[in-house]
Amino acid sequence: MAKPLSYLYIKKCFIIFFIFTSIGSYAQDCSCEKEFLFIKEFIENNYAGFKDKQAQMTEAGYQKMTGRLQKLSRTAKENCLLIISQYLDSFKDQHIQISGRFDATKYDTGYINQRQEVTLPDEKIIALSKSKSIEGIFIFNYDSSYRIAVIKDKSQLHNYIGVIIDSRLPTWRKGLVKFEAKQLNDSMMKGILYMRNHMPKVEWFYIGKNQIGGDWQREGTIREKQIYNYDLVASEKLSDKTLYLKISSFSPSNAKNIDSLLKAQQHNLSSIPYLILDLRDNGGGADFVFSPILPYIYTGPVKGIGVDVLATKSNIDGWKKLLEDKDLPEQNKKVINGMIEQMERNTGGLLSIANDYIDSSFTPLPNPQKVVILINRGCASTTEQFLLYARQSSKVILMGENTQGTLDYSNMRETSFSCMPYVLRYATTRSRRLDIGEGIDNVGIKPNIYLKEKTDWIREAFKKIEVP
């Protein structure tokens, strides 16, 4: 069976760092408006979801939004990235991302000295020290090397900022802004974080009772102990009837671990009737990585919907660059080369690169007889492609909560900003599921059975699968 090309190779977000030796020259010579217009034009011409997303906003709404941000870009300084980020956020697509392209340990004192400062009166700091809201005084919880005041500061770009109020670090002085963010809901803000060298990075900030993000603890409170239990793969025989498998990533780098796991559990998989497959927080990877799991969930023909690629020169260049990836199997490279040839012959619009298909390539196995797959909001991209396949099996039950909803526009490629040291990653393909009303972006794949957040999901799955 030929797999749909749009799902051949989707990687999770990663950050690329290399030495950027002249941050100061970027700050002096790179016009924010110029960079904003470059990104805007690039997205309009190369992002596979642009026409759909603009239609949702309406053309007038899109023009109003971009006009407002362009106007802000004319006077922007160190927060230019925030303007560009908010433009990209308007598409509501997690397959549009920004990565830094600089070494955060390299300092440019000229750039740092140009940064604007915020003056906070002593009485304001005293009042903040008594606050129990998002505002307050917070300590860098790794080594207490600096303190910040988190204050409301409403503007067109943010409504909270974090300001240094004292620091033992030589490059951070009182009054410098550490972050700017806009509150999205009770538990989340998004904005930019100024890193060790003061260069901004797009960041999500989780809001806790006494924490902001993972870095800052409210002064005078005790940090809650963080328990991390992250395994790329794991397994456990829960009973004579139920096997538990955990797969945290479908990244190509995890392919060998998954193959080893399945080989080690081959006897149990073929002899035990029930399987719990835990995919929580599996943010994706590549389709060939989950392929070895498919025989264990297959019960009959599975329908797949084809995809289109936006055939532009930049997208062709991006796909060619992918061929340099050492983790990509040769068979996938062969298919991608064929796709590139099609794109080069038919540039200028969406090009069908995969037809709708029926997969009947497997023979149903006697075991496992029932499979519960645990899913949550951390499941995205390639993991959702796997779930679109899995939910068509009569032996599969999805339990948990909706997935993230990041698959309608996929196959991310990348391009450098025109003058700022950043990389834009964006989707080059569009699923034709959208044309039949089966899009999942920002909605996700629904479970058959919803589970409450504070319950033991593995126990609930065990009860469901073993209790008649």
pLDDT digits (tens, 9 = 90+) for 136-185: 999 998 888 999 999 999 999 999 999 999 999 999 999 999 999 999 99
pLDDT computed for residue 10 by the predictor: 37
Q: Are 68 and 79 in contact (CB under 8 A)?
A: no
Cis, peptide link before residue 368, omega less than 30° from 0: yes
Q: What H or E segment, with its residue span, contains residue 386? A: helix 382-390
Q: What is the per-residue pLDDT across 183-206, written as a single tens digit (0 to 9) for each?
A: 999 999 999 999 999 999 999 999
pLDDT computed for residue 454 by the predictor: 87
Q: Whole-prediction pTM value?
A: 0.86
pLDDT computed for residue 141 by the predictor: 85
pLDDT computed for residue 24 by the predictor: 47
Q: How many CB atoms lie within 10 A of CB 125?
A: 16
pLDDT computed for residue 228 by the predictor: 53
Query: Between the CA of residue 356 and those of 4, 47, 409, what are the distances in Å?
Result: 8, 22, 16
Low-confidence residues of the chain, pLDDT below 50?
Answer: 1-25
Query: Which of 441, 412, 185 lies closest to 319 in space, CA to CA?
Result: 412
pLDDT computed for residue 328 by the predictor: 83
pLDDT computed for residue 303 by the predictor: 95
pLDDT computed for residue 220 by the predictor: 92
